[in-house]
Amino acid sequence: MADAVMTLLVESLCQLITEKVKLIGGAKDELDNLLQVINTLKAFLQDNDQQESNSNSWKTFVKNIRTQAHKADDVIDKFVLEAKLHEEKNIWKKTLSFGRHIKRVNNLAKGIKDICEKVKVIRQENPQVLQPRPMLNLPRRLAREPQATFLEVRNIVGFTTESNEVMERLVGGTEEVECIPIVGMTGLGKTTLARKVWSDSQITAIFSKIIWVSVGQSNELEDIFFVILKSSTGPNQEFRLTGENELAKVIASFGTEQHRCLIVLDDVWASELVDFFKNVLPENKKRHRILMTTRRRDLASCASERPYHLKFLTGEDSFRLLEKRVFDNGRCQNDLVELGKSIANKCGGLPLALVVIARALKVIQNVYEWKRIENNFWQYVVRENDTTSCWKIVEASYESLSSEMKTCFLYCLAFPKGYDIPVQMLIRLWMAEGLIESSPINFSSSEDKADNYLMEFENLDLVIVSREITGSIKRVKCNEMFYEFYKMEVTKESVFQELRLTPDFPSINDPDTSRRLHIESCDLPDFISRISSAEHVRSFLCFSSEDLDQQTNLSSHVDIQLIRKAFPLLRVLKIESINIPSLKNLNLLFHLRYISISGNFKELPAFFSKFWSLQSIIVNTSQPTLNIKANIWNMPKLTHLKTNKPSKLPLPSTQKGKGSSSLLQTLSKISPETCNKAVLGQASNSLKKLSIQGKIEDSLQTNSDRFSTFEGFQTLEKFECLENLKLVSDVPCHTNDFQFPKALFRFLLKLKKLTLSKTMFDWKDATKLGQLECLEVLKLKTDAFTGKSWNPEKGDFRKLQVLWIHSNDLHTWEASGSHFPKLRVLVLECPKLESVPAELSQFQQQS
């Protein structure tokens, strides 16, 4: 967590020193010095966090460094707020307050100097932590011997079918070396299944050489090989090996013409190990096999085209296993059956959780004690540092993450349990919080990094993702099975503080643990009335856990400006689950990076232009349109503007030095009448997602005073970044006298998704869409085209995966599979359509 704090601090310092040097005046030298110190410590933390994460001295050192980084962050942000207010004064007021401003600059310099001195003292008092370590002395995770396997589930329910299927693949298959991966969530019984297969008489009869090694997170081949040799040689046999090649020769000797070899690799974390064994075992057509267990889906897919995915136990099997473990193969008492089934269901089909909770249930078998265990389920299933609970095996997935990835994952738990988090919102929040790089110039690389993080979380079953049909991640949800366990990590790492209104209201005054606050919307009005000043708070997030779409209206006597007064240094304000009465009281939140709000707003005020760090604006209004008064084109960090109703955009500034292209990635939704040549020209070099809603028909009209929407497209030299375009008419158009806009395929070179609704173009023009070479998703909804037939041309739509058509007129559609070679989903809402070609009907789905 400390290096995440420092990442944001470094970003703020660089911005101050390079872009806003006038604000800091005489404090520049001190800030330069602090930047150097913070950069050095940040690099040191990143290099050493994985090796030192379990050391108490290291944890104390990191906590002290984080505290000083927070203090520096507070001192700088508070000064910038005061300097911005001074900068906005007229010349007369500036003159009068000049002395006070100089004093503030001097105080800033002194405060930064004091912090640097404290960091120096911390480093001097911790020489053992800061000493460079030889690589040979770094702690290593060694391979384990078979008897050290973490979980051995006796009397397991099921696995008969599973073991038979795995054995069939081990015995059958090709004559060459093959790997059969067993993959599944931690605690699902992968090791138990492998043990069952490994010890089966059919396997021991067929394979004359069977070797088991529990790998774990070891990356030392030599350690693993020695474990293998120790388990496969006689107790008195001596062997002397001089390097990896010699070890490989010994392993290869297991698979001779006389021996058929089976190597079981339990709990694999790296593909290199499996690749090594595939290369070492001889290709002598003896059907040598490698059986591996892994929790990583990506490794399983690399090892085999057909990984064996282990499934969760059914509700019935879960209760049967619980019953066997509690009552030693006997039957559950009648008065405990319902409670037992309820507790079994809480285990989510996970054998490990069932075995652990069974130990607690077995001690005292009465209704009162079982009810108490049910109410405190997670205290029994996951007990920290208790290797008989689920803690150790669950911790392994979390501990395999880098420090930055851990923080990003734990941030997901700021959302209520069961919350489907839109992935684009999550990524933008990560950027705004400084958890990953947030530079608009490197926005794509930041998104790629975030996507890689999410795929890693999915690989380890930390989250469950839902995907677009094209494969991209759409939403992400924390795995509910171990949600409470990771919530303990959230508290320990001070990622955010969850506020719940109780008679003993939790304090938010600790600058190290209360920098991010999370509250349910139903508690917000009461919280605001009791709020205290806390300048250190940087994020305020409000959710509704019961009905995520329901909004709570603030009563008239509650003033939203209390949030601004209590948290003047806010960077993230996410309160769209409530309606706020006015935006005017947010005018001094200069440090905002992300804002998501709802209310009866007519406009986005001009003062938003002053928020120099703002990256994302999400506004939901009950008005039919939203007038954007803020000059979004000159906001240096703004990449995302999203409104639920069409917004009217301002014209770009014509002032000298103010006309540079914006860095906007998303414009959704905007009104057609403001989507002209000047507006589109500002966004053409960066825009990825564009949604236009309103009177599309009017925007097709051109005159001497105004460029149309599509003429705006046509007059551009290029529009090469746009990937997602949505055009929605509020009322059906009647544009039969106008040609379909050629710009849609002349300049949209990278367009992947196109949605048209109520535009009512002629079906004969729909064929032109096939010239969009990158198009993957095409949604023609609510009479986007009119006419009775559509005859797409062959050779077009080469990459189209999703086709959605809603038309009340379409009678015939002459298309075949060759027209859409990549098609995966076809949705047709065409009541008059006579038939669908047979080769396309296999893709047809309901809307």
pTM: 0.84
pLDDT at 153: 42
715 pLDDT tier (thresholds 50, 70, 90): very low
pLDDT at 158: 61
pLDDT at 654: 56
328 pLDDT tier (thresholds 50, 70, 90): confident
716 pLDDT tier (thresholds 50, 70, 90): very low
pLDDT at 129: 64
Residue range 496-512: average pLDDT?
79
779 pLDDT tier (thresholds 50, 70, 90): very high
Domain residue spans in the chain?
2-137, 146-309, 315-391, 401-493
pLDDT, one tens digit per residue, over 618-657 is 999 999 999 999 999 889 889 999 999 999 998 886 544 4
User: Can you spell out the DSSP letters for 571-604?
Assistant: SEEE-TTEE-S-SGGGTT-TT-SEEEEEE--SEE
User: Can you spell out the DSSP letters for 752-807?
Assistant: -EEEEES--EEHHHHGGGGG-TT--EEEEESSSEESSEE-PPTT--TT--EEEEE-
Residue range 765-782: average pLDDT?
87
**Pairwise CA distance, residues 79 & 26, whole Å:** 13
Instruction: Give the architecture (CATH level 2) of 401-493.
Output: Orthogonal Bundle (1.10)
| Top CATH class, 146-309 | alpha beta
137 pLDDT tier (thresholds 50, 70, 90): very low
pLDDT at 152 over 50: no
**Pairwise CA distance, residues 651 & 130, whole Å:** 55
pLDDT at 136: 34
CA dihedral 285→291→295→300, nearest 10 degrees, is: 10
Is the model more confident about 526 or about 744?
526
404 burial via Cβ count (<10 Å: 0-12, 13-18, 19+): buried
Lowest average pLDDT, out of 1-15, 303-317, 780-794, 817-831, goes to 1-15
Lowest average pLDDT, out of 96-110, 215-229, 685-699, 775-789, goes to 215-229
pLDDT at 517: 92
pLDDT at 574: 94
Q: How many CA atoms lie less than 13 Å away from 98 in the CB half-sphere?
A: 6
Lowest average pLDDT, out of 438-452, 605-619, 736-750, goes to 736-750
pLDDT, one tens digit per residue, over 558-595 is 567 888 888 999 999 998 888 888 888 888 898 999 99
**Pairwise CA distance, residues 156 & 169, whole Å:** 22
pLDDT, one tens digit per residue, over 729-759 is 887 665 555 456 665 666 677 889 999 998 8
pLDDT at 557 over 60: no
Most confident region among 60-64, 236-240, 842-846 by mean pLDDT: 60-64
Most confident region among 9-18, 110-119, 342-351, 701-710 by mean pLDDT: 342-351
Determine contact, residues 719/755, Cβ cutoff 8 Å.
no
pLDDT, one tens digit per residue, over 666-698 is 999 998 888 777 777 777 778 899 998 988 765
102 pLDDT tier (thresholds 50, 70, 90): confident
pLDDT at 555: 42
pLDDT at 771 over 70: yes
User: Can you spell out the DSSP letters for 123-167?
Assistant: HHH-HHHHS---GGGS-----B-GGG-S---TT-SS-HHHHHHHH
pLDDT, one tens digit per residue, over 224-258 is 666 666 665 554 455 555 556 766 776 677 656 66
760 pLDDT tier (thresholds 50, 70, 90): confident
424 pLDDT tier (thresholds 50, 70, 90): very high
- Could you give the angle at the alpha carbon of 31 between the alpha carbons of 30 and 32, nearest 5°? 90
Tokens, residue 699: 């925007």
pLDDT at 149: 37
Share above pLDDT 70 across residues of the chain, in percent, rounded to a whole number: 77
131 pLDDT tier (thresholds 50, 70, 90): low
Residue range 780-809: average pLDDT?
85
841 pLDDT tier (thresholds 50, 70, 90): confident
Is the model more confident about 68 or about 699?
68
pLDDT at 412 over 80: yes
51 pLDDT tier (thresholds 50, 70, 90): low
The 10 Å Cβ neighbour count of residue 528 is: 17
pLDDT at 145: 41
**Pairwise CA distance, residues 170 & 207, whole Å:** 10
pLDDT at 698: 59
Mean residue pLDDT across the chain: 79
b/e per residue 629-666 (b: at least 16 CB within 10 A): bbbbbbbebbbbbbbebbbbbbebeeeeeeeeebbbbb
Tokens, residue 605: 């005020």
pLDDT at 2: 54
pLDDT at 615: 94
Residue range 24-48: average pLDDT?
75
Tokens, residue 487: 């919530």
pLDDT, one tens digit per residue, over 822-833 is 888 888 888 888
pLDDT at 62 over 90: no
Tokens, residue 481: 């099975």
pLDDT at 19: 61
**Pairwise CA distance, residues 83 & 386, whole Å:** 52
What is the distance, to the nearest Å, from the Cα of residue 599 to the centroid of all Cα atoms in its chain? 28
Fold match between 146-309 and 401-493? no
